[in-house]
Structure 1
Amino acid sequence: MEAVTGYASYVLPITIVLVGAWLVWTVVRYVRADQGMRVSMRQAVRVRWGWVRLARMAGLTVTDRTPSLLAQITAQKDGATPAPRVLTPKIKVKPDQFGVIVRARTLPQVGLEEYQKSARFLADAWRCTRVSVLPDGPGRVVIRGVRSDPLTTPTTHRPTGRPPTDLTRWELGVDEYAAQVCVSLANVPGVTVAGVPGAGKTSGVNKFVCDFAPSAAVQIVTADGKVSRASEGDYADLVKRMFAFCGDDLDEANALFKRLVELRKRRSSVIRDVLGVKNMWHVGPSPEWPLTVLIIDEAHTYFREYKGSDPTTRRLAALTAENARLVEDLVKKGRSVGILVILISQKTTGDAIPTFIRDVCPIGLSFAQKTVEAAVAALGEDIRNWPDASPVTLQDPAYVGVAVMAMQGRPGYTRIRTPYVSDADAAHIADATSHLTADPDLCLDALLRATGRTTTPAPSLTK
């Protein structure tokens, strides 16, 4: 007992020191934060202090009429009936640039559905633009409140220059609740990107190139229908990191597509012997067997249907028809051997990208569109049932860089703010990673030689 009494004299000073250290740390964090973060920190304090009262008003409490053991003992002494207890879910609040993230417990009769029904009341009480409620594991929910709209807040992305840790993960940006949106590229044969000019299509693809360029296990080739030479257009700063490039010349594009189809055939014939699997994604990309990404910008340039009886028109019509057949081969048969096709066009209607190509691509993004028909072509018929998420509503300049897509595991459609990558940063990444550029055909030749197998030499692609 004397020992306990002796230690008790130290409890108060230790408590004061700990509380003081916490207060100093909080003040330092507040001072060092920018203006937006400071507002969120003050908002987080209001959420914590007002939670008990707000939960009762929003119907997020439960009345427990069974007294606790202590209440029963007290009641027996006093001869009074124990009063029922009002249980309030416990929460943890974390501020960020856009608002607050609240993690809450569930209670009997207060589960995910009850939180979701109260979302609009929480938004008003917390002065948020919108509030979402999602499950966060058994017995828990995460409540996301955004004070400012992430979709109308332009963001920038500065590439790190470091190889990505996961080559199957494509980070697109943030959704309307400022949550990171990522899609998996594993076993994905193709991606379609649609939107009116200037809506952000090429900028989104530039981020993809800059993020994956530091990896020798990714090789990129581009066909850009907007330009005639590699030194022109949106990819001029990135062409150093591309093992091949062609412009709007249909003959050059046809030769490029043929070479990639030959690469696909060669990989298909040796994949089981060389990699020991039928699907490259079972072992993942490597510098010897890189993920080969074909970017086709202004895709309608290469698939357009020419009508006419003169020799020139007939020749162009034959070229575009063959281009469609070749790209169809890559999309339908290239997935298992590590070939990904990204098709970009203003509209992904059947006259721009043939439906036998477009409908095989499982990932579709659409930036701003002018017509519902264009939105349906890009995202499918179901977008008619979600008018608030339609890309037709993104025509305001504030939404440049915002795309819509269907996400697995989420109902409806998700709107995503894609960040802007400056030309200077893109050029720097291309220069710094140009030494990683390699022709996948030559990589395959080297791999076959290293494993003691014969290979049929194939001419390398030229820029």
Structure 2
Amino acid sequence: MEAITGYASYVLPIATALAGVWLLVTVVRYVRADQGTRVSMRQAVRVRWGWVRLARMAGLTVTDKTPSLLAQITAQKDGAVPAPRVLTPKIKVKPDQYGVIVRARTLPQVGLEEYQKSARFLADAWRCTRVSVLPDGPGKVVIRGVRSDPLTTPTTHRPTGLPLTDLTHWELGVDEFAAQVSVSLANVPGVTVAGVPGAGKTSGVNKFVCDFAPSPSVQIATADGKVSRASEGDYADLVKRMFALCGDDLDEANALFKRLVELRKRRSATIRDVLGVKNMWHVGPSPQWPLTVLIIDEAHTFFREYKGSDATAKRLAALTAENARLVEDLVKKGRSVGILVILISQKTTGDAIPTLIRDVCPIGLSFAQKTVEAAVAALGEDIRNWPDASPVALQDPAYVGVAVMAMQGRPGYTRIRTPYVSDTDAARVADATSHLTADPNLCLDALLRSTGRTATPASSLTK
């Protein structure tokens, strides 16, 4: 007892010192935080202090009529009947720029469904624009409350210029609950991007190029239907990091598509011998076998049907029909050999992008649309059942840069705020990574020579 009494004199100073350190750290974090995060930090304090009372009012507690062991011992001494206990889930609260993230435990009869039913009450009590509840592992849920709407808060992205550690994921932006959204590109043959002019389509693709450009395991080609020359338009700042780029000239686009189809054939013929697998994604992209991305902006330019009986109309009609056939080949057969096609158009209806191409692309994004029919073409018939998430509701200028897509593992559709990448940053990344630009065909030639195989031209594979 004397030893315990002796140590007791140190407890108060130690506890005071620890409390002082915690308070100092909290103050420093508060001072260094931005204005939005400071508001969220104060909000987090209110959430913690008011949780027990709010949980009882929202029906997120459970009454346990079985007394604890201590209560049973006390009751035996006093001869009283133990009172039932009201159990409240334990929570951990983390603030950020947009609101709070609350991780909570479940209890018997208070599970995921009960939390989801109480979401609107929690939103009102926490003064949030919206609240979502998702599972966070066995016996856990994560409650996301956003005070300000991430969809109407413009964001910018400054590329680091460093190569990505994971080339299988494309970071798109943040959803309506400020959670980071990414899509897997592994085994994806094509992506469609739709939306009215000025809605943010090209900016979203620019971010893709700037993020993937620092990796020598990615090579990019572009057919831009909005311009006549490669030095014009939205991709002019990125041309140094593209191994091929053409404008709206149908003959040049046709030559580019043929070039990539020949690459696809050569890769298909040699992949087993060179990589030892049937699917490139089993080993991942490499500088010798790079992920080859074809961006087709204003895709309807290259696929439109020309009508007329004169020689010019017939030639153009034959050319666009062949373009459609070539791109269909890339989308349907290029997945396993590491070829990805990104098709961008104002509307992805069948007259803009042939359905044989569009319907094979598993990922579809749609920025603002004017009609439900255009939204259906971009996202599928099910978007009619989710009017609140429809891209038709994104026509307000505040939603420029916001896209809608169906996410695997999530019900319905997700709205995503894509960040803006400045032309200066795009040019900086392209200049810094221009030395990484290489023709995938030449990469394949070098790889075949290094393995002692003949660099067979694609033309001989069709004979």
Normalised by the length of structure 1, the TM-score is 0.99
Alignment of 1:248 with 2:248, yes or no, is yes
**SS of residue paired to 1:5:** helix
- Supply the distance in 1 between the matched residues of 2:135 and 2:173 (Cα, whole angstroms): 21
- The percent identity for this pair of structures is 92
CA contact (8 A) 1:195 1:345 kept: yes
Q: Which string of whole-angstrom CA distances, capped at 9 and with x for unpartnered residues, describes residues 212-267 of structure 1? A: 00000000000000001111000000010000000000000001100100000000
CA contact (8 A) 1:155 1:419 kept: yes
RMSD value over aligned CA atoms?
2.2
For residue 137 of structure 1, report the CA deviation from its aligned partner. Answer: 0.3
- Supply the distance in 1 between the matched residues of 2:281 and 2:382 (Cα, whole angstroms): 30
- Supply the distance in 1 between the matched residues of 2:7 and 2:432 (Cα, whole angstroms): 62
CA contact (8 A) 2:265 2:461 kept: no
Which residue does the alignment assign to 1:93? 93
For residue 462 of structure 1, report the CA deviation from its aligned partner. Answer: 23
- Supply the distance in 1 between the matched residues of 2:323 and 2:137 (Cα, whole angstroms): 48
For residue 460 of structure 1, report the CA deviation from its aligned partner. Answer: 16
For residue 105 of structure 1, report the CA deviation from its aligned partner. Answer: 0.3
**SS of residue paired to 2:462:** coil
Q: Which string of whole-angstrom CA distances, capped at 9 and with x for unpartnered residues, describes residues 156-175 of structure 1? A: 00001110010001000000
- Supply the distance in 2 between the matched residues of 1:149 and 1:331 (Cα, whole angstroms): 37
CA contact (8 A) 1:439 1:460 kept: no
- Supply the distance in 1 between the matched residues of 2:412 and 2:28 (Cα, whole angstroms): 42
- Supply the distance in 2 between the matched residues of 1:270 and 1:232 (Cα, whole angstroms): 37
CA contact (8 A) 2:89 2:105 kept: yes
CA contact (8 A) 2:62 2:110 kept: yes
Which residue does the alignment assign to 1:184? 184
For residue 416 of structure 1, report the CA deviation from its aligned partner. Answer: 0.3
For residue 2 of structure 1, report the CA deviation from its aligned partner. Answer: 2.4
**SS of residue paired to 1:131:** strand
**SS of residue paired to 2:308:** coil
For residue 30 of structure 1, report the CA deviation from its aligned partner. Answer: 0.8
CA contact (8 A) 2:265 2:458 kept: no
- Supply the distance in 2 between the matched residues of 1:7 and 1:460 (Cα, whole angstroms): 87
- The 5 A counterparts of 1:4-83 are 4-83=4-83
- Supply the distance in 2 between the matched residues of 1:354 and 1:113 (Cα, whole angstroms): 42
- Supply the distance in 2 between the matched residues of 1:353 and 1:87 (Cα, whole angstroms): 58
Off by >4 Å, runs of 4+ in structure 1: 457-463
**SS of residue paired to 2:328:** helix
Q: Which string of whole-angstrom CA distances, capped at 9 and with x for unpartnered residues, describes residues 113-149 of structure 1? A: 0000000000000000000000000000000000000
CA contact (8 A) 2:225 2:297 kept: yes
CA contact (8 A) 2:266 2:461 kept: no
For residue 457 of structure 1, report the CA deviation from its aligned partner. Answer: 4.9
**SS of residue paired to 1:340:** strand
For residue 85 of structure 1, report the CA deviation from its aligned partner. Answer: 0.5
- Supply the distance in 2 between the matched residues of 1:461 and 1:300 (Cα, whole angstroms): 30
For residue 6 of structure 1, report the CA deviation from its aligned partner. Answer: 1.6
For residue 449 of structure 1, report the CA deviation from its aligned partner. Answer: 0.2
For residue 34 of structure 1, report the CA deviation from its aligned partner. Answer: 1.4
For residue 456 of structure 1, report the CA deviation from its aligned partner. Answer: 2.5
- Supply the distance in 1 between the matched residues of 2:461 and 2:420 (Cα, whole angstroms): 30
CA contact (8 A) 2:266 2:458 kept: no
CA contact (8 A) 1:259 1:461 kept: no
- Supply the distance in 2 between the matched residues of 1:268 and 1:408 (Cα, whole angstroms): 29
Runs of 5+ unmatched residues, structure 2: none
Structure 1 pair 303–93 and aligned structure 2 pair: CA distance change class (3 A): same
- Supply the distance in 1 between the matched residues of 2:43 and 2:104 (Cα, whole angstroms): 17
CA contact (8 A) 2:200 2:367 kept: yes
CA contact (8 A) 1:306 1:316 kept: yes
CA contact (8 A) 2:94 2:100 kept: yes
Structure 1 pair 201–461 and aligned structure 2 pair: CA distance change class (3 A): farther
**SS of residue paired to 1:222:** strand
For residue 4 of structure 1, report the CA deviation from its aligned partner. Answer: 1.9
For residue 458 of structure 1, report the CA deviation from its aligned partner. Answer: 7.1
CA contact (8 A) 2:266 2:457 kept: no
CA contact (8 A) 2:328 2:357 kept: yes
Q: Which string of whole-angstrom CA distances, capped at 9 and with x for unpartnered residues, describes residues 15-49 of structure 1? A: 00000110111111111111111100000000000
**SS of residue paired to 1:193:** strand
- Supply the distance in 2 between the matched residues of 1:215 and 1:29 (Cα, whole angstroms): 35
Q: Give the number of aligned pairs.
A: 463
- Supply the distance in 1 between the matched residues of 2:183 and 2:320 (Cα, whole angstroms): 31
**SS of residue paired to 1:237:** helix
Structure 1 pair 182–97 and aligned structure 2 pair: CA distance change class (3 A): same
CA contact (8 A) 1:195 1:368 kept: yes
- Supply the distance in 1 between the matched residues of 2:296 and 2:460 (Cα, whole angstroms): 19
Alignment of 1:289 with 2:315, yes or no, is no
- Supply the distance in 2 between the matched residues of 1:335 and 1:22 (Cα, whole angstroms): 53
Moved more, 449-458 or 10-19: 449-458
- Supply the distance in 1 between the matched residues of 2:372 and 2:86 (Cα, whole angstroms): 50
**SS of residue paired to 1:329:** helix
Which residue does the alignment assign to 2:274? 274
Q: Which string of whole-angstrom CA distances, capped at 9 and with x for unpartnered residues, describes residues 334-381 of structure 1? A: 000000000000000000000000000000000000000000000000
CA contact (8 A) 1:224 1:298 kept: yes
**SS of residue paired to 2:459:** coil
CA contact (8 A) 2:241 2:434 kept: yes
CA contact (8 A) 1:442 1:460 kept: no
For residue 3 of structure 1, report the CA deviation from its aligned partner. Answer: 2.1
For residue 178 of structure 1, report the CA deviation from its aligned partner. Answer: 0.3
**SS of residue paired to 1:145:** strand
CA contact (8 A) 1:243 1:462 kept: no
CA contact (8 A) 2:221 2:245 kept: yes
- The 5 A counterparts of 1:131-142 are 131-142=131-142
Which residue does the alignment assign to 2:2? 2
Runs of 5+ unmatched residues, structure 1: none
- Supply the distance in 2 between the matched residues of 1:216 and 1:363 (Cα, whole angstroms): 24
Q: Which string of whole-angstrom CA distances, capped at 9 and with x for unpartnered residues, describes residues 290-314 of structure 1? A: 0000000000000000000000000
- Supply the distance in 2 between the matched residues of 1:271 and 1:423 (Cα, whole angstroms): 38
For residue 63 of structure 1, report the CA deviation from its aligned partner. Answer: 0.5
- Supply the distance in 1 between the matched residues of 2:461 and 2:432 (Cα, whole angstroms): 22
- Supply the distance in 2 between the matched residues of 1:177 and 1:190 (Cα, whole angstroms): 27
Structure 1 pair 202–462 and aligned structure 2 pair: CA distance change class (3 A): farther
- Supply the distance in 2 between the matched residues of 1:143 and 1:461 (Cα, whole angstroms): 56
CA contact (8 A) 1:445 1:457 kept: no
CA contact (8 A) 2:379 2:406 kept: yes
- Supply the distance in 2 between the matched residues of 1:261 and 1:34 (Cα, whole angstroms): 50
CA contact (8 A) 2:407 2:414 kept: yes
**SS of residue paired to 2:55:** helix
CA contact (8 A) 1:243 1:461 kept: no
Structure 1 pair 432–461 and aligned structure 2 pair: CA distance change class (3 A): farther
